[in-house]
Structure 1
């Protein structure tokens, strides 16, 4: 590894609970009054990095370029080398600030929305000649075709995803002048202190492309963490966000292009969740968190219906929803599969979780969530798959103008999300809006 300057002793190594993809460890290094905090970011396995357009060496160089350009990126101080025997990754100086979206959004500093707009404009202003050559240029049409190919490889049988792919194909925008796109600019990947935005994290999805992709991503429903009345990051209005971005030198915001990217990235994350299940099946990441995220596809399908329903005729938007399937009857006799799962979940909650610390406690909560999904699934008769309908929507043979289709899709996403993510804030909002 490119060595941290000075001699010292390593202490306090702790696994951090955040990070849906990479592992992060906090530690201290130094001696006496020279002790400082650092964070190691690394891949959970070599297989995990397979197929990525760039590795951690280039990611570290990109973060360094952003830091040098005045962006509130972490300061990279070392990059892992093969001789270290620790896989791939890099070390950053630790930033002492809040990263939890729930805590940030409960009481955001007054400047936060303006900070978010300003910082994104700074990222988009980084000269492309200072960006590592490995950082790819995104071709939107090719990227959409790749999403479609992945969807088909996963079975091609989710109607809402098929509907979104077809919509994106029909509304593909003309290419934009490329800028550096962070690719994951949202709550959960920023740090905030009392003065406002303190750091922008997680640059692994960076690429060159359309600035509107970054503008839209943090405004997705899932990344607003329940703040549905504040469409910009869960912090404020789109008008104020766009004004701050433009005032700091960002491109003039095109609302039509913004809507495309809001739908595209919601589709992208729906397929990203499905991909998590494939990663678990392949052994690339055997953690229980992977399979739980795999079931969050239902959240994005719900959001896609809410985004796309305006394409349906007014009469269809007002149609009454069909009834949900009947619940299963109460058990009798020997313990059922449901009761066995319930017993295991209760044991984790009562005996394992209270004794766990740090990342182990996080894993216990994830395991409880996984078993909760199974419990609800065992009680229901709900499936998201309908290959014939998905194929008809993907080809354009069926559209939201078909009588009753929107109502069927609404009922399907409500029932599926109630199993997989019953606490998802948009679920309650959709039930109220659709009278479901």
Structure 2
């Protein structure tokens, strides 16, 4: 972070925090994120309610990201505030800056939390996340709190509302992409048709995280420290999030641990049911696991296209495209006896 940007951020935080002065003692660019840029900041704040040393994260769009594939920072900030108020364990959202003159793009600051989010480490290192039964239960409880948010929510009016069944809404979105894409994916078309034919009717519709999985929460040696990455939140059937978390493609190779690669499915379900007061329809989850594999395959195609089109030169995006055949096989395997 150059000196001009540091000074601009300091002035913004001074005014937002009603402080007499603010100094950035340390600024470090965090790894990860091709679309967003995250800076770990140590802020020395003089005066005002936040006086003292504050450890925060500044989150903004990457200057090299050419396409918007998720919510913007102002929208993500609104989502964080909403779920924070609903009791979800998330980094506390602090201040939003939509003035592009400050650092050239919108950003917000949130309080920094400890732990690690790396999915491949979480499933292999038993020292992370504390007791795995308790971790699975806790994640179920957190998801239930997310699903306690219902429409209407004026702060979330940017989230598209619709009247059709959430499953059919998702099928329509994915089919629209495949119809205009230059390459045919027959296995994905098969999966879409299967999902269309077996779509459950519209029932309870809640706020859904949209990417609730191992890799998108942080944990330390004691347990969960926070749920991250709200860029894909939307209104949907709450079973969509449950199916996504339990889908085989998000177990990071630890296939036997059906709850996100970190625990037992029933432990996760128990935490959700105790917090929500609703019984999960076990038989309905498989449908949403098929949907999870289909949605992830579409995202992988889109990510690879960003690289192959020359839009963004990224080995990570290119490699993401190579998982599509594995996801196609899983979809066929899960639906072949229909």
User: Which residue number corresponds to residue 66 of structure 1?
Assistant: 83
Bigger proportion of residues as helix: 1
**Contact 1:9-1:31 at 8 Å conserved across structures:** yes
Please, which runs of 5 or more residues in structure 1 have no aligned partner? 312-436
User: Which residue number corresponds to residue 15 of structure 1?
Assistant: 29
Aligned partner of residue 39 in structure 1, secondary structure: strand
Aligned with residue 136 of structure 1, among 140, 152, 160: 160
Q: C-alpha separation between the residues in 2 aligned to 1:238 and 1:77?
A: 35
1:121 corresponds to 2:168? no
Please, what is the CA RMSD of the aligned residues?
2.5
Paired residue total? 310
Bigger proportion of residues as strand: 2
Aligned partner of residue 120 in structure 2, secondary structure: helix
User: Which residue number corresponds to residue 194 of structure 1?
Assistant: 221
| Mean Cα deviation higher: 19-28 or 231-240 | 19-28
- Please report how far the alpha carbon of residue 282 of structure 1 lies from its aligned counterpart in structure 2 after TM superposition: 5.1
- Relative distance call for 1:47 and 1:99 in structure 2 (3 A) is closer
User: Which residue number corresponds to residue 56 of structure 2?
Assistant: 38
Please, which runs of 5 or more residues in structure 2 have no aligned partner? 1-8
- Please report how far the alpha carbon of residue 239 of structure 1 lies from its aligned counterpart in structure 2 after TM superposition: 2.1
- Please report how far the alpha carbon of residue 11 of structure 1 lies from its aligned counterpart in structure 2 after TM superposition: 4.0
- Please report how far the alpha carbon of residue 154 of structure 1 lies from its aligned counterpart in structure 2 after TM superposition: 2.5
After superposition, residues 1-400 of structure 1 pair within 5 angstroms as 3=13, 5=17, 6=19, 7-19=21-33, 21-30=35-44, 34-45=52-63, 48=66, 50=68, 54-81=71-98, 82-105=100-123, 106-107=125-126, 108-110=129-131, 111-130=134-153, 131-137=155-161, 139-249=166-276, 251-281=278-308, 284-311=311-338
**Contact 1:63-1:76 at 8 Å conserved across structures:** yes
Aligned partner of residue 29 in structure 1, secondary structure: strand
Aligned partner of residue 253 in structure 1, secondary structure: coil
- Please report how far the alpha carbon of residue 194 of structure 1 lies from its aligned counterpart in structure 2 after TM superposition: 2.9
Q: C-alpha separation between the residues in 2 aligned to 1:165 and 1:156?
A: 16
Aligned partner of residue 303 in structure 1, secondary structure: helix
Q: C-alpha separation between the residues in 2 aligned to 1:299 and 1:88?
A: 37
Q: Following superposition, which runs of at least 4 residues in structure 1 exceed 6 angstroms of deviation?
A: none
**Contact 1:57-1:79 at 8 Å conserved across structures:** yes
**Contact 2:210-2:241 at 8 Å conserved across structures:** yes
Per-residue CA distance 1:81-123 (angstroms, 9 max, x = gap): 2222332332211101121223322214211001011111111
- Please report how far the alpha carbon of residue 46 of structure 1 lies from its aligned counterpart in structure 2 after TM superposition: 8.4
**Contact 1:121-1:248 at 8 Å conserved across structures:** yes
- Please report how far the alpha carbon of residue 219 of structure 1 lies from its aligned counterpart in structure 2 after TM superposition: 1.3
**Contact 1:223-1:233 at 8 Å conserved across structures:** yes
| Mean Cα deviation higher: 5-14 or 103-112 | 5-14
**Contact 1:124-1:250 at 8 Å conserved across structures:** no
Aligned partner of residue 276 in structure 2, secondary structure: coil
Q: C-alpha separation between the residues in 1 aligned to 2:275 and 2:77?
A: 26
- Relative distance call for 1:254 and 1:235 in structure 2 (3 A) is same
TM-score between both structures, scaled by the size of structure 1: 0.65
